[in-house]
Amino acid sequence: MMKPEYLLKIPPSMSLRKAALVEPLAVALHIAELAKLTSRVNLGI
């Protein structure tokens, strides 16, 4: 269970499909920042 303060309400204008991508994208961006990745780095996933 998540604490309520960690939850965000999905705006009515956002589809559930798009909302489902927010958390994985946020994690990927955070990792890229921690790894100091740039647009010149080749990366395989």
pLDDT in tens, 1-45: 889 998 989 999 999 999 999 989 999 899 989 988 888 878 777
Residue 45 lies in a domain: no
Res 14: pLDDT: 95
Res 10: pLDDT: 93
Res 16: pLDDT: 94
Residue 20 lies in a domain: yes
H or E segment to which residue 24 belongs: helix 16-34
Which one-letter amino acid corresponds to residue 26? A
Q: Which residue has the tokens 């309520």?
A: 4
Residue 41 lies in a domain: no
Res 1: pLDDT: 87
Res 5: pLDDT: 94
Which structural domain range is residue 8 located in?
4-35
Residue 22 lies in a domain: yes
Residue 26 lies in a domain: yes
Number of domains in the chain: 1
What's the CA angle centered on 20, arms 18 and 40, to 5 degrees? Answer: 75
28 near 22, Cβ under 8 Å? no
Q: How far apart are CA 32 and CA 36, in angstroms?
A: 6
